[in-house]
Chain A
Amino acid sequence: MNMPADAQPVAQFGETPFTRKKQRSEKIARAIFAVMVACIVIPLIVIIGYLVKEGYSLISWKFLTTNPTHGMREGGIWSALLGTFWLVGVSLCISAPIGVLAAVYLNEYAKDNWFTRVVNLAVVNLAGVPSIVHALFGLGAFVLFAHMGRSILAASLTLAIMTMPVIIASTKEALAAVPRQFREACWNVGATKWQTIWRIVLPNSISGILTGVILQVSRTAGETAPIMFTGAVFYRRIEEGNLFAYNITDQCMALSTHLFAVKTQVTNAPEALSFAIALVLLGLVVFVNLTAILIRSWLRGRKKW
């Protein structure tokens, strides 16, 4: 689409002072912008490298699968890790169906009028509401008003509402990529709107939808503020090795709040412990994101039309 970056003037016209000046300006521009990008990328690499160096020594299978001990100064992170999985899983079960259907509404059913604009605006604003305000909302609506108490359910609902706009936006984009002529062909043979969506539109946009859902997972896993007051607990011991050690009405630990607690509230915790927790959280998020990127590029290669 864009001009090739290394477009050279054609040599046969010969070099003039003017073309030389142009080449120089081209090189300078390129260098300056490259330095700017480097200023963003290099700190990132250095920081991640530092986290790995400081935290790597503690990480082992045992670290992941045992509960914290000695006032969270020793032991593993099992209860926090499992808590994060639970929060992500439950919130996904809520936000994915609602988010996908909301996107279906916006892309397939909504007419181009003021009401649709208001809905779109609401989605944009929902995405922009600060996470701490979501926390207040979760506390006011789910924990207190709906009497769920501080629980995985209340925290997951809060997270679900918070991350839903991500799913809506990516699903909408995926649906819009399915050509309209496919829909018309279906309507012409007497398929209903939903049959068309279910049999043609959704199967052909599943890769984009999946990518959005996975990105939602990564965002949910890292959130801290929304769960601090709605379901996360400072310390909790659970049965090791049992994936169903939590109940949906329980409070749970989570990696993000655990990191916050170890770093700011536990005195005399070893430095390496907090680095290791940060590293696990970061690794989890990066892993999930890379999965999404891989799925996207894999499915892009096998498009059906």
Chain B
Amino acid sequence: MTGSRSTLSIYGEKAIELLIRLCGVSAIIFVFAIFFFVFREGAPILASKDFSLGKFLTSTEWYPTSMSNVRFGTLALLAGTLSVTGVAMLIAVPFGLGAAIFVSEFCTGKVREILKIVIELLAAIPSIVWGFIGLTVMNPIIQNLFHVPVGLNVLNAAILLALMSIPVMVSIGEDALKAVPDSYREGALALGATRWQIIWRVLLPAAKNGLLAAVLLGVGRAVGETMAVLMATGHAVQIPHSIFDSCRTLTATIAAELGETREHSPHYQVLFLIGILLFTITFIVNLIADFVVKGVRKK
């Protein structure tokens, strides 16, 4: 048998290892490629004399197709994104974390399995279907319930986003709660603590980093969501003053307008620039979430 392993098979091994390493680093390559190619399409506008980066970030006037006076201010869009995300989180955080606590602390056996499957299915519903639901189901409900003329508004989109980001929060939140050693719970029980006290004083403090990461990943998902908010926000460029105002988000703007622009026109380039802005926001949110999670692991 000795010597039957030829040099060829050693080179084969080396080749496979090289391939695997290449695939391994591909994620880095893709992240850089995304930044590079999106920036490459959008960058020329930065040199244009009609464009000012300050106005881009601070002006609320978004008139990309105006014949006489083109204005590319994204503040209203950013406000739309933030308000929809914010309201969504106000709904999603208590319900998401509450569900995580219920699944992890109050459920056993079959009930738990079934709930986890339901939540998994909730996560699987495509965003276009959520948008469709917003348009056809939520719109009339909101109109009738709150007596407002338009049901496509911040509230509508926020409820959809909340339902979309809850599954992420539940699964990561549940992991965080599972990571709290049982001895903590038993210790607290032995001291005569009630279930409330255990949750408030023991579980939440012990799992707080994991829960925070769960919330941040939910935020990341909500900021980046496109189709659902495109269909449910009402598509009005304005800074919303109440949850019943229509608005428009950064993502929806790209989705709605990219198809109608000429390639390499200023409008087209500005849309790519918005893409870079979005990429940066979600990148930072994910980075923070990652560091928070790593903090958990170190303990």
Contacts and interface: CB of A to CB of B under 8 A. Distances in A.
Interface in B144-196: 163, 166, 178, 182, 185-186, 189, 192, 194-196
B182 A2 contact: yes
Contacts of B125: 222, 282, 285
B258 interface: yes
Given A105-B24, A136-B38, A256 B290 contact: no
A282 B128 CA distance: 10
A214 B222 CA distance: 24
Contact of B118 (A26, A44, A97, A136): A44
Interface in B255-293: 255, 258-259, 263, 271-272, 275, 278-279, 282-283, 285-287, 289-290
B45 interface: no
Contacts of B41: 136, 139-140, 144
A267 interface: no
A41 B186 CA distance: 31
Given A129-B279, A140-B272, A101 B287 contact: no
A19 to B, nearest CB: 9
Interface stretch (B46-54, B70-78, B103-111, B237-245): B103-111
B195 A29 contact: yes
Given A5-B108, A122-B27, A40 B124 contact: no
Given A25-B195, A50-B137, A137-B38, A33 B98 contact: yes
B24 A109 contact: yes
Contacts of A174: none
Interface in A10-62: 18, 21-22, 25-26, 28-30, 32-34, 36-37, 39-41, 43-44, 47, 50-51
B40 interface: yes
Given A47-B137, A219-B124, A259-B132, A130 B278 contact: yes
Nearest to A131: B226
A33 B106 contact: yes
Contacts of A18: 192
B227 A225 contact: yes
A263 B135 contact: yes
Contacts of A2: 104-105, 108, 178, 182, 185
Interface in B19-72: 19-21, 23-28, 30-31, 33-34, 37-38, 40-41
Contact of A3 (B137, B185, B272, B278): B185
B151 to A, nearest CB: 15
**Main SS of chain A's interface residues?**
helix
A281 to B, nearest CB: 6
Nearest to A145: B37
Contacts of A264: 135, 231
B156 to A, nearest CB: 13
Contacts of A260: 128, 131, 227, 231
A98 to B, nearest CB: 5
A52 to B, nearest CB: 13
Interface residues of A, number: 95
A122 B28 contact: yes
Nearest to A29: B195
B278 A34 contact: no
A299 B105 CA distance: 27
A222 B128 CA distance: 7
Contacts of A118: 28
Contacts of A37: 98-99, 102-103, 115
B205 interface: no
Contacts of A99: 23
Contacts of B120: 289, 293
Interface in A104-128: 104-106, 108-110, 118-119, 121-128
Q: Identify which of B106, B223, B255 gathers the most chain A CB atoms within 10 Å of its CB.
A: B106
Contacts of A210: none
Contacts of A145: 37, 40
Interface of A: 1-5, 18, 21-22, 25-26, 28-30, 32-34, 36-37, 39-41, 43-44, 47, 50-51, 97-99, 101-102, 104-106, 108-110, 118-119, 121-137, 139-141, 144-145, 161, 164-165, 168, 192-194, 215, 218-219, 221-225, 228-229, 256, 259-260, 263-264, 271, 274-275, 278, 281-282, 285-286, 288-290, 293
21 contacts: A33-B105, A36-B102, A41-B118, A101-B20, A102-B24, A104-B20, A105-B25, A135-B254, A136-B38, A137-B38, A139-B258, A140-B41, A140-B272, A144-B263, A161-B30, A224-B126, A225-B251, A225-B255, A229-B259, A256-B227, A282-B125
